[in-house]
Amino acid sequence: MGFDLTPTGAQHDLARRTHEFSESVIRPAAADYDARQEFPWPVLEEAATRGFYSPLFYRDLIGDPTGLSLPMFMEELFWGCAGIGLAIVMPALALSAIGQAASPEQMLQWAPECFGTPGDLKLAALAISEPEGGSDVRNLRTRAKRDGTGPDADWIIDGHKMWIGNGGIANVHVVNAVVDEELGHRGQALFIVPGGTPGLEMVRKLDKLGCRASHTAELKFNAVRVPAENLLGGQEKLEYKLARAREAVEGGRRSGSATLGTFEQTRPMVAAQALGIARAALEYATEYANRREAFGAPIIDNQGVSFPLADLATAIDAARLLTWRASWMAASGIPMERGEGSMSKLAASEVAVRTTERAIQTMGGWGYIKDHPVEKWYRDAKLYTIFEGTSEIQRIVISNALGAADGRPPLHVDLEPTGGPLNRMFGRGTPARTQVSNTLLGMRDRVPQPVMQLAMKVLKPPKK
């Protein structure tokens, strides 16, 4: 599957339906949920009724071989409100982690529990970060120990998690914990902790700057007991993974973890969310600048107002292309060896902050007060340079990849070519093709006109 920007009919329809939902349901409710910092249950119900809140919907989008359905959906949803958007898609982040680690039976068991059904909605959380270790996942201190020796022995989890979306109110918590201290971050595993399990304590709901419609909490795990089958992937897979990790430690090699793999997959998804906020702010500021008059003319007539907006429109499109490319790579199974997922998240989150700040500036005093949504978008956008890896962490990933890929050509030259040997011999720009064109041109006086016309038809660029 090649990288193609043309949407399919289904993608076009998905973007249109999502935009309509954002415009008619999310936007009108956004300011109120932001002010009250309340979880938007009625909006989730409406999302579920419209088919935007179900495991099959997200598996379908993740499975799209073009990779574009998921970022298109995210951008339109978060164009409405990032806080409400996060409340809607949080289970999809947990589902993505389950999908990478779980056995097919576990997936079947837990995926429906992450979403529920309209009228009986459920929530899911992905609990990785800890008070002492957000960026540094090697520093995680939550521990899981077996209570006994047999393969059916329960696991006991002790630890402390911080900033967990849907934490404490979720029906399913996907929790990572260290199971082998000597192996450090390589010795971690993912567990399912159902909501209401004794020992799972919501210490507090966090009071946030932005994205306030989403629920974020501090959690404690006090001797939380879960059965053996709640270890994602199962005991055999864990033992195999730990054995490989031991070999890697002994051989001094670097290796990833299930947690890091999850982030790599989800970064373009998060980038697309930031693009939704950025686009909303750019549209709003442009519309305002066209309408607002100062010194007898619309303020957009001043290049001091219009040029920054032009730069942002360019940067948003560049970030979208990075995001769609990374998403296409994820869907095509192309390894992100140059940090392409991190590039998309870095570019999109930073442009979202710049655009929302510029939107306030463009609107002057009106931008600074809550009569307009741009101050909220500014607060919402800031989260995107922090979670799913801070901007600094994205730069570390990209610069490490730069070093590792030193001397290699860019991705488009490095990828396996399509088109087969005939294309390699006679495709556009090949010496054979140039030679044929030159020969035909040289014979133009001797070759009959119809034959010449036919030959040039084959060689000339196709008309649109």
Half-sphere exposure of 270 (CA within 13 A, CB side): 30
Burial category of 412 from C-beta neighbours within 10 Å (exposed 0-12, middle 13-18, buried 19 and up) = exposed
Cβ proximity to ligand FAD: between 215 and 358 the closer is 215
Cβ proximity to ligand FAD: between 399 and 453 the closer is 399
Min separation Cβ 216 and ligand FAD, Å: 5
Q: Which residues 135-164 are close enough to bind ligand FAD by CB under 6 A?
A: 135-136, 163-164
C-alpha 265 chain-centroid distance: 7
What's the rounded Cα separation, in Å, for the pair 268 and 274? Answer: 10
| 168 belongs to the binding site for ligand FAD (CB under 6 A) | no
Cβ proximity to ligand FAD: between 366 and 387 the closer is 387
Q: Between the CA atoms of 419, 421, 426 and 428, what dihedral angle is there, to the nearest 10 degrees? A: 30
| 349 belongs to the binding site for ligand FAD (CB under 6 A) | no
Cβ proximity to ligand FAD: between 66 and 259 the closer is 259
Q: Which residues 189-208 are close enough to bind ligand FAD by CB under 6 A?
A: 208
Stretch that binds ligand FAD, among 132-140, 267-275, 345-353, 405-413 (CB under 6 A): 132-140
Q: What is the CA radius of gyration of the chain?
A: 26
Cβ 19 vs Cβ 63: under 8 Å: no
Q: Which residues 209-228 are close enough to bind ligand FAD by CB under 6 A?
A: 211, 216
Q: What is the DSSP letter of 417?
A: P
3-class SS string, 33-78:
HHHHCCCCHHHHHHHHHCCCCCHHHHHHHHCCCCCCHHHHHHHHHH
By C-alpha distance, which of 273, 271, 258 is closest to 126? 258
| 245 belongs to the binding site for ligand FAD (CB under 6 A) | no
| 390 belongs to the binding site for ligand FAD (CB under 6 A) | yes
Active site residue 340: no
Min separation Cβ 9 and ligand FAD, Å: 34
Q: Which of 248, 387, 405, 440 binds ligand FAD (CB under 6 A)?
A: 387
Cβ proximity to ligand FAD: between 20 and 132 the closer is 132
Min separation Cβ 88 and ligand FAD, Å: 14
Min separation Cβ 345 and ligand FAD, Å: 12
Residues 78-117: x/- map of binding to ligand FAD (CB under 6 A)? ----------------------------------------
Q: Between the CA atoms of 363, 311, 28 and 126, what dihedral angle is there, to the nearest 10 degrees? A: -130
By C-alpha distance, which of 312, 314, 338, 313 is closest to 325? 338
Stretch that binds ligand FAD, among 77-85, 130-138, 350-358, 368-376 (CB under 6 A): 130-138
What's the rounded Cα separation, in Å, for the pair 399 and 223? Answer: 40
Cβ proximity to ligand FAD: between 131 and 151 the closer is 131
Stretch that binds ligand FAD, among 145-153, 293-301, 387-395, 435-443 (CB under 6 A): 387-395
Helix 82-101 vs helix 104-115: crossing angle, to nearest 10? 160
DSSP structure string for 286-339: HHHHHH-EETTEEGGGSHHHHHHHHHHHHHHHHHHHHHHHHHHHHHHT---TT-
What's the rounded Cα separation, in Å, for the pair 306 and 286? Answer: 8
What's the rounded Cα separation, in Å, for the pair 396 and 29? Answer: 38
What's the rounded Cα separation, in Å, for the pair 178 and 156? Answer: 11
| 342 belongs to the binding site for ligand FAD (CB under 6 A) | no
What's the rounded Cα separation, in Å, for the pair 403 and 414? Answer: 16
Give the CB-nearest residue to ligand FAD.
Answer: 134
Instruction: Tell me the site size for ligand FAD, rule CB under 6 A.
Output: 20
Min separation Cβ 214 and ligand FAD, Å: 7
Q: Which of 109, 129, 235, 332 binds ligand FAD (CB under 6 A)?
A: 129
Q: Which of 95, 217, 322, 393 binds ligand FAD (CB under 6 A)?
A: 393
Q: Would you name the residues annotated as active-site residues?
A: 388
* Residue ranges binding ligand FAD (CB under 6 A): 126-129, 134-136, 163-165, 208, 211, 216, 383, 386-387, 390, 392-393, 396
